[in-house]
Amino acid sequence: MSSNPVTPLLDTVDVPADLRKLAPGQLRQLADELRAEMISAVGSTGGHLGSGLGVVELTVAIHYVFNTPDDKLVWDVGHQAYPHKIITGRRDRIRTLRQGGGLSGFTKRSESEYDPFGAAHSSTSISAALGFAIANKLAGNPGKGIAVIGDGAMSAGMAYEAMNNAAEAGNRLVVILNDNDMSIAPPVGGLSAYLAKIVSSRPFLELREVAKRISRKLPEPLHKAAKKTDEFARGMAMGGTLFEELGFYYVGPIDGHNLDQLIPVLENVRDAAEGPCLIHVVTQKGKGYAPAEASADKYHGVQKFDVITGEQIKPAATAPAYQNVFGETLAKLADSDPKICAITAAMPSGTGVDKFAKAHPDRAFDVGIAEQHGVTFAAGLAAQGMRPFCAIYSTFLQRAYDQVVHDVAIQNLPVRFAIDRAGLVGADGATHAGSFDITYLASLPNMVVMAAADEAELVHMTYTAALHDSGPIAFRYPRGNGVGVELPEVPQQLEIGKGRIVRHGTKVAILSLGTRLAEALKAADQLEAKGLSTTVADLRFAKPLDTDLIRQLMTTHEVVLTVEEGSIGGLGAHVLTMASDEGLTDAGLKIRTLRLPDLFQDHDSPDKQYDAAGLNAPHIVDAVLKALRHNSAGVEEARA
């Protein structure tokens, strides 16, 4: 035990202005305390751990050197911003991370003036920081735009589109490339190899070299003096050509955990550079926490865990995760079908493509964070007779919408879209919710859109998609584990555009799409108890609609209600359009559509989110009773 305990510094730092009062020699201690605080907090909440641990020193250094919040600091993805939140006035709420009413797991404008730009989807930071920089330039303000972007996020085209456009910003734009040689999975592709080459081919940059490097943009006499030295010439020869060609001053690589190096380099860039600067910082994901450093994914995302052992507290799974049902089914199908291949955009384990890749490595493609490329690449494969499955989360497929329309749907190419994380996703919140895919896909000519009601249905839909060579087809399924139904030994080919009746009734018909089926069946029980005979159909297809089934139910039932885990414009809109086109509402049929509300829902547990969205059994009962003008019966009665 130390006889001379060190006074905690973190308690004295509420906001960056407090941090700037510390002496440089105190920053190491502060960083250590910040790291410990982050580990303790995430141990109690779960969330993104490895990425934040890797940027503790960088976080301290940036806020120490730059004038935040006037200088706008934009964290790419935002999943590494927990240390940033702790020292920007949110330490008292850090143990509410990702919980209902608590702090977001990403940066969020409404949360703090130190989060000038919200994120969660990757590779947007340079564009946004450039926007801040140019706006300041136009207004004559001194503030800079600072983007911190990971090597994984650098695999996306958008980062290059922004860099290509950056010269305008002058020294108001600073890009910090946080190179930890990891995406969620190991990074892929040429850029990753390029960065590795720079890092391995030269030692970490000496301070002297940074100064010389930047002096290239110093006033002319100084510049000339510097130019005379051999060292300057050596400085000129360092790596980073790619970034230089894009108009950046490349500085690096530097050790992102060494504050003695980080602080002066950032100061140099702040004070001396004239053009946009890219600082290549090398960090270690999971740094400073042994269980994270030792794990294969560096604890990218974790459940709550025991801080001493690092052991995560995982709820016992009662059924397989949807993504694994998909990956394993596809791997089996590919055993006898050499044309099947699988594409993931940097999410091999999240999408189950890792299972496929194990069995068929030559037909599995991780394209990096490049959803747009992934979709058009799949279109090319399909045009050449392959059967590509693009496994992309609903929210990330949004980024590739034009590719879906222009490269796939217009050409009627049989690309299969396995759309994971459909519907509300819980702790990741609005940015990750899979709310829109039914709407944005079912509006496209040629497209077939299915939604799985459970994991057995997912097996059938994967098989159905494999056999569907006549055009594009998509099937969606939620985050998390299945409902526990038995998986079929032999998958069934579903007839395109045909639903199924799961329960027969006479007065009320619930048309369900996707995994709300369980809630629809619960609601049917409750309605039955009130004497309202209820049919439940699992439509399976949002497009093409099973018009025969829907027409039959509409002409034999008094109330028809649609339920879906998607936004306005999806199944409900298509059913209403069909009903009005065919005049089915003319005879007084009551139609109601239950769908996600027209707002971006904040993070919470999925159950609570669905409750807030009005998509649980009591809401279905309530909607039916109201439609039948039992208006006194509300959700409370339905719950009873």
Ligand X SMILES: Cc1ncc(C[n+]2csc(CCOP(=O)(O)OP(=O)(O)O)c2C)c(N)n1
Cα(579)–Cα(589) distance, integer angstroms: 10
Phi, psi of 391 (to 5 degrees): -100, 105
Interaction pattern, residues 487-526, with ligand X; x per rule: CB under 6 A: ----------------------------------------
Asked if 321 and 481 touch (Cβ cutoff 8 Å), the reply is yes
Sheet of strand 72-75, all strands in order from the earlier edge strand to the far edge? 72-75, 145-150, 173-179, 277-282, 249-255
Q: Does 369 bind ligand X (CB under 6 A)?
A: yes
Q: Does 150 bind ligand X (CB under 6 A)?
A: yes
Nearer to ligand X, 396 or 463 (CB): 396
Q: Does 152 bind ligand X (CB under 6 A)?
A: yes
Cα(88)–Cα(94) distance, integer angstroms: 11
Q: Does 285 bind ligand X (CB under 6 A)?
A: yes
Nearer to ligand X, 429 or 572 (CB): 429
Residue 477, token pair as written in the block: 């399924």
**Which residues have a Cβ under 8 Å from the Cβ of 91 and sit 6 or more positions away?**
10, 14, 37, 85
Cα(360)–Cα(367) distance, integer angstroms: 16
Residue 311 belongs to what H/E stretch? Answer: none
What is the size of the binding site for ligand X (CB under 6 A)?
Answer: 24
Shortest distance, position 428 Cβ to ligand X, whole Å: 9
**Which residues have a Cβ under 8 Å from the Cβ of 216 and sit 6 or more positions away?**
223, 226, 236, 249
Shortest distance, position 474 Cβ to ligand X, whole Å: 18
Q: Does 618 bind ligand X (CB under 6 A)?
A: no
Shortest distance, position 77 Cβ to ligand X, whole Å: 5
Cα(346)–Cα(340) distance, integer angstroms: 19
Kindly identify the residues of this chain, within the stretch 61-120, that bind ligand X according to CB under 6 A: 77, 79-80
For residue 418, list its beta bridge partners.
391, 475
Chain mean position to CA 133:
26
Whether 551 is catalytic = no
Interaction pattern, residues 227-266, with ligand X; x per rule: CB under 6 A: ----------------------------------------
Radius of gyration of the chain (CA): 27
Asked if 460 and 491 touch (Cβ cutoff 8 Å), the reply is yes
Nearer to ligand X, 333 or 346 (CB): 346
- Burial classification of residue 452, based on how many CB atoms lie within 10 Å of its CB (0-12 exposed, 13-18 middle, 19 or more buried): buried
Q: Which of 63, 98, 121, 619 binds ligand X (CB under 6 A)?
A: 121
Cα(113)–Cα(116) distance, integer angstroms: 6
Q: Does 460 bind ligand X (CB under 6 A)?
A: no
Measured distance between the N- and C-terminal CA atoms of the chain, rounded to whole angstroms: 60
Residue 633 identity: A
Shortest distance, position 298 Cβ to ligand X, whole Å: 8
Asked if 536 and 633 touch (Cβ cutoff 8 Å), the reply is no
Q: Which of 346, 415, 456, 594 binds ligand X (CB under 6 A)?
A: 346
Asked if 451 and 438 touch (Cβ cutoff 8 Å), the reply is yes
Q: Does 151 bind ligand X (CB under 6 A)?
A: yes
Q: Which of 104, 171, 183, 462 binds ligand X (CB under 6 A)?
A: 183
Q: Which of 480, 28, 436 is nearest to 259 (CA)?
A: 28
| Segments in 288-347 forming alpha helices (H) | 290-294, 322-335
Q: Which of 363, 295, 259 is nearest to 34 (CA)?
A: 259
Looking at 215-223, 345-353, 355-363, 570-578, which segment touches ligand X (CB under 6 A)?
A: 345-353
Asked if 423 and 550 touch (Cβ cutoff 8 Å), the reply is no
Q: Does 182 bind ligand X (CB under 6 A)?
A: yes
Tokens 């456009």 label which residue? 165
Q: Hey, what's the torsion of the CAs at 601, 604, 609, 611, to 10 degrees?
A: -130
Given the residues 328, 371, 455, 565, the one annotated as active site = 371
Please identify the residue of the shown chain whose CB is closest to the bound ligand X. Answer: 150
Q: Does 143 bind ligand X (CB under 6 A)?
A: no
Nearer to ligand X, 215 or 283 (CB): 283
Q: Which of 144, 280, 287, 399 binds ligand X (CB under 6 A)?
A: 399
Given the residues 298, 399, 416, 516, the one annotated as active site = 399
Cα(108)–Cα(117) distance, integer angstroms: 6
Nearer to ligand X, 121 or 595 (CB): 121
Whether 399 is catalytic = yes
Nearer to ligand X, 66 or 299 (CB): 299
Looking at 20-28, 139-147, 343-351, 517-525, which segment touches ligand X (CB under 6 A)?
A: 343-351
Q: Does 122 bind ligand X (CB under 6 A)?
A: yes
Q: Does 616 bind ligand X (CB under 6 A)?
A: no
Nearer to ligand X, 80 or 376 (CB): 80
Which sign does the torsion angle of CA 127, 131, 134, 136 carry? negative
Kindly identify the residues of this chain, within the stretch 37-66, that bind ligand X according to CB under 6 A: 51, 54
Given the residues 285, 355, 543, 595, the one annotated as active site = 285
Shortest distance, position 399 Cβ to ligand X, whole Å: 5
Whether 274 is catalytic = no
Cα(271)–Cα(286) distance, integer angstroms: 31
Looking at 174-182, 211-219, 222-230, 253-261, which segment touches ligand X (CB under 6 A)?
A: 174-182
Shortest distance, position 80 Cβ to ligand X, whole Å: 5
Shortest distance, position 321 Cβ to ligand X, whole Å: 17
Q: Which of 87, 153, 418, 465 binds ligand X (CB under 6 A)?
A: 153
Nearer to ligand X, 430 or 520 (CB): 430
Q: Does 426 bind ligand X (CB under 6 A)?
A: no
Q: Which of 159, 174, 184, 331 binds ligand X (CB under 6 A)?
A: 184
Nearer to ligand X, 13 or 369 (CB): 369
Q: Which of 436, 423, 396 is nearest to 567 (CA)?
A: 436
Looking at 8-16, 180-188, 228-236, 439-447, which segment touches ligand X (CB under 6 A)?
A: 180-188
Residue 191, token pair as written in the block: 């850029």
Which string of DSSP letters, residue by residue, matches 503-539? E--SSEEEEEESTTHHHHHHHHHHHHHTT--EEEEE-
Looking at 178-186, 331-339, 403-411, 437-445, which segment touches ligand X (CB under 6 A)?
A: 178-186
Catalytic residues: 285, 371, 399
Binding site for ligand X (CB under 6 A): 51, 54, 77, 79-80, 121-122, 150-153, 178, 180, 182-184, 285, 345-347, 369, 371, 396, 399
